[in-house]
Amino acid sequence: MATKKSRTVDALKPFRSDPTGQELTTNQGVPIADDQNSLRAGERGPSLLEDFIVREKITHFDHERIPERVVHARGEGAHGYFEVYKPMSKYTRAAFLQDPAVRTPVFVRFSTVGGSRGSADTVRDVRGFAVKFYTTEGNYDLVGNNMPVFFIQDAMKFPDFVHAVKPEPHNEIPQASSAHDTFWDFVSLTTEATHMVMWLMSDRAIPRSLRMMEGFGVHTFRLVNAAGKGTFVKFHWKPLLGIHSLAWDEAQKIAGKDADFHRRDLWEAIESGSFPEWELAVQLFSEQQADTFDFDILDPTKLIPEELVPVQRIGRMVLDRNPDDFFAETEQVAFCAAHVVPGIDFTNDPLLQGRIFSYLDTQLSRLGGPNFHELPINRPRCAFNNNQRDGMHRQPIGAVPVSYEPNSINGNWPVEVKNGFQSYLETVAGPKRRVRAESFKEHFAQAALFFNSQTEIEQEHTIKAFSFELSKVSRPEIRERMVDVLAKVDATLAARVADNLGLKAGRAKAPPKLNSKISTSKALSMLKQEPGLVATRKIAVLAADGVDVVALNAMRSSLGAQGVQLKVLAAKLGSLKGTDGSAVPVDHSILTMPSVLFDGLYVPGGAKNIAALSASADAIHFVQETFKHCKPIAASDEGMQLLERSHVPSTNDEAAGVVTGDNGRKGLPKVFLNAISRHRFWEREKVDAVPA
């Protein structure tokens, strides 16, 4: 019998599209002349609702995922409260910013941007930092990130950016990573993204903890007082635990060892009573001041250096309660940039203008209709009444026969409020045009400011990050084009990256002269900031039978008084026998809790203890990896022998973060505590003698 040749029939071929050689059009086939800019009133005026092209583009984009969020899909949240330090009535009439005795409830959701709900926490990415204030005047959503700028200037380009950074469409790879062709193709052609890319390639993109990162409102907003006077404002969140990062090698290993690292860290801190805190800070400035800056305050790819406008801390936020139901609260919470209260208003930032529309549209799709505000997590804590009716998932039952205004049947209730929300009175004039303001066209000065503000160690990390990401790009022309972009930021940066990519150094040309009054800004460097509190840092204790209990207890007592947690790791769970015969409980098996999940290491003495650890490959690797990731290490008495066995210098060196000695019962805990407060000793990255 003849064998039939099998052939797969492409049943979808009639539906496949190929835009090669075709004009750009709307979904209705209307040719598009400008796909770069929203329609606005004047170069720096507000975006116009009649812009059917941007509305169609963003509407389609907002509805691309059901029900998972298109961006910020992976997140975790917590409840808490906010309290202002002193009345802010000079600048705003917002009620929650007036009375220090009032605690305003909040719900905060942290998130990554690019990955799906199933991706890992520690990927290199922007982190969302969204705060919902349940105020007495309605809900206010401050929807921000852990970086103060963004990739694009106009909402028209937001779908393009997200499409580029998402996994490659043909194979959905790589997940939650920007290290691929489409992202770098887009940013190398869209140079307004250069400043944000510098932040993304810095250690800001791999935070140690969600509790140890800053938050920013990104856009310029307005505060409006009772007299109608407006003041420009930039919002900041400053963590009391300081700003700290992971090492890149460490972040990658954590993604495999504990993909829920940040989620678990936040949950456990709150459950233990170590409530995370941030201070709300503002940069306040007038329109006259804004006119003196050499950048446009409406450009979301720009920040305002703190040397130009100091940051004032005006209140604090405490997260003190975990959700009871992840889906009902963290997953169903709906943030919207348009949710403001009297006393807070928008500016004509073209990205913000698009977000005001986009977020609401997204929630309509993701949560099934217009009544998402009636879900418990989204419901205002104050009364809300209007004539809106019906729709999917409607919960209130109408008790009166009218749903219109004016009416006489119900006494015209609900009625307008004389002191309700009033938009800031701003004069707007200009021709309707699709245009990018001239003041938006400089893309490299603040990127250079950011890089120049970093320490040598931070710059080295940024160079390695660019080299890592671009080495994953398969198309040579994209790598070359991106190096050319970096040359406009810093010649050394471009030359180093080019060399790592095997490109000719000649492609890295000297950057043009930049128009900037400030060459460096201390606030842009993580390592130039105060270290913050040490509470909730986790220190691993390697131990076996015969561990020096006296030294261990002395270290636990001293560090515990400052909120530092010591966790005993051993080959097996259960308990160990100490030098005094007492039982020492084991917290974790060394096989399930690697060094990357801790902030430091302590090795107590005891001859039998160290003999067992020195014979353990797992213990030796633990020490070496801790050293490689530049974390503080302490060893007392015989514990120093394990460091030597691991090829780690055992000589006491506080500057290098390795503290040792025979005074484990006296002075060593205090010295070790000082080392922990430093978080990392990045200088150790230059030591090549220690394998890991």
Domain's final residue, options 320, 347, 374:
374
What's the CATH number where 454 sits?
1.20.1370.20
What confidence tier does 59 reach under pLDDT thresholds 50, 70, 90? confident
Q: Token pair of 583, please?
A: 């039982």
Looking at the structure, do residues 484 and 632 belong to the same domain, yes or no? no
Which among 37, 145, 348, 452 is annotated as catalytic?
145
Looking at the structure, do residues 520 and 542 belong to the same domain, yes or no? no
Q: What would the mean pLDDT of 596-623 be, rounded to a whole number?
A: 97
> In this structure, is residue 13 part of a structural domain?
no
pTM above 0.75, yes or no: yes
What confidence tier does 511 reach under pLDDT thresholds 50, 70, 90? low
Q: What would the mean pLDDT of 473-484 be, rounded to a whole number?
A: 96
Q: How far apart are the first and last CA of the chain?
A: 62
pLDDT above 90 for 614: yes
Looking at the structure, do residues 611 and 650 belong to the same domain, yes or no? yes
What confidence tier does 157 reach under pLDDT thresholds 50, 70, 90? very high
Task: Determine whether 639 is exposed, middle or buried from the number of CB atoms within 10 Å of its CB (0-12, 13-18, 19+).
Answer: buried
Give the C-alpha separation, 206 to 588, whole Å: 25
Q: What would the mean pLDDT of 154-169 be, rounded to a whole number?
A: 95
pLDDT tens digit sequence for 343-388: 999 999 999 999 998 998 888 888 988 888 889 899 998 888 888 8
Give the C-alpha separation, 195 to 148, whole Å: 10
The residue range of the domain holding 210 is: 39-374
What's the CATH number where 654 sits?
3.40.50.880
What is the pLDDT at residue 510? Answer: 64
Strand ranges (E), 432-483? 432-434
Looking at the structure, do residues 489 and 554 belong to the same domain, yes or no? no
Contact partners, residue 690, CB within 8 Å, separation at least 6: 624, 627, 628, 646, 647, 648
Looking at the structure, do residues 217 and 147 belong to the same domain, yes or no? yes
Q: What would the mean pLDDT of 476-489 be, rounded to a whole number?
A: 96
Least confident of 17-21, 166-170, 307-311: 17-21
pLDDT above 70 for 641: yes
What is the pLDDT at residue 505? Answer: 67
Q: 480 with 508: CB under 8 angstroms?
A: no
What is the pLDDT at residue 2? Answer: 44
Looking at the structure, do residues 89 and 125 belong to the same domain, yes or no? yes
What confidence tier does 633 reach under pLDDT thresholds 50, 70, 90? very high
Looking at the structure, do residues 496 and 546 belong to the same domain, yes or no? no
pLDDT tens digit sequence for 436-465: 999 999 999 999 999 999 999 999 999 999
With both helix axes pointing from N to C terminus, report the angle between 491-500 and 476-487 in degrees, rounded to the nearest 10: 160
What is the pLDDT at residue 400? Answer: 86
pLDDT tens digit sequence for 89-127: 999 999 999 999 999 999 999 999 999 999 999 999 999
Average pLDDT in the chain: 92
pLDDT above 60 for 639: yes
What is the pLDDT at residue 4? Answer: 47
Which among 72, 180, 244, 679 is annotated as catalytic?
72
> In this structure, is residue 180 part of a structural domain?
yes
Looking at the structure, do residues 556 and 504 belong to the same domain, yes or no? no
> In this structure, is residue 676 part of a structural domain?
yes
Report the candidate in 577, 581, 638, 569 with the shortest Cα–Cα distance to residue 605. Answer: 638
Report the candidate in 437, 425, 344, 396 with the shortest Cα–Cα distance to residue 47. Answer: 437
> In this structure, is residue 423 part of a structural domain?
no
What confidence tier does 313 reach under pLDDT thresholds 50, 70, 90? very high
Least confident of 239-253, 369-383, 469-483: 369-383
Least confident of 143-152, 265-274, 374-383, 611-620: 374-383
Looking at the structure, do residues 620 and 506 belong to the same domain, yes or no? no
Instruction: Name the pairing type of β-strands 633-636 and 344-345.
Output: unpaired
pLDDT above 60 for 532: yes
Q: 247 with 124: CB under 8 angstroms?
A: no
Least confident of 19-28, 257-266, 314-323, 608-617: 19-28
Looking at the structure, do residues 263 and 327 belong to the same domain, yes or no? yes
pLDDT-above-70 percentage for the chain:
95
pLDDT above 70 for 134: yes
What confidence tier does 205 reach under pLDDT thresholds 50, 70, 90? very high
Q: Token pair of 369, please?
A: 């209709």
> In this structure, is residue 638 part of a structural domain?
yes
Q: What would the mean pLDDT of 490-510 be, rounded to a whole number?
A: 85
Residue 145 annotated to the active site: yes
What is the pLDDT at residue 422? Answer: 87
> In this structure, is residue 216 part of a structural domain?
yes
The total of other beta-carbon atoms located within 10 Å of residue 531's CB is 16
The per-residue b/e assignment along 389-420, b for 16 or more CB within 10 angstroms, e otherwise, is eeeeeeeeeeeeeeeeeeeeeeeeeeeeeeee
pLDDT-above-90 percentage for the chain:
75
Q: What would the mean pLDDT of 567-591 be, rounded to a whole number?
A: 96
Q: 130 with 143: CB under 8 angstroms?
A: yes
What is the pLDDT at residue 1? Answer: 38
> In this structure, is residue 592 part of a structural domain?
yes
Number of domains comprising the chain:
3
Domain's final residue, options 374, 396, 425:
374
What confidence tier does 391 reach under pLDDT thresholds 50, 70, 90? confident
Domain's final residue, options 465, 500, 524:
524
pLDDT above 70 for 397: yes
Give the C-alpha separation, 380 to 340, whole Å: 12
Give the containing element (helix H, strand E) for 82.
Answer: strand 75-84
Looking at the structure, do residues 517 and 638 belong to the same domain, yes or no? no
Strand ranges (E), 268-405? 277-285, 312-321, 344-345
pLDDT above 90 for 597: yes
Peptide bond into 431 cis (omega under 30): no
Report the candidate in 681, 675, 672 with the shortest Cα–Cα distance to residue 558. Answer: 672
What confidence tier does 15 reach under pLDDT thresholds 50, 70, 90? low
Dihedral sign from CA coordinates of 400, 410, 423, 310:
negative
Looking at the structure, do residues 507 and 562 belong to the same domain, yes or no? no
pLDDT above 50 for 610: yes
pLDDT above 90 for 583: yes
pLDDT tens digit sequence for 278-294: 999 999 999 999 999 99
What is the pLDDT at residue 687? Answer: 78
> In this structure, is residue 140 part of a structural domain?
yes
Q: For residues 687 and 372, which has the higher predicted lDDT (pLDDT)?
A: 372
Q: Which of 65-69, 206-210, 404-408 has the highest mean pLDDT?
A: 206-210
What's the CATH number where 86 sits?
2.40.180.10
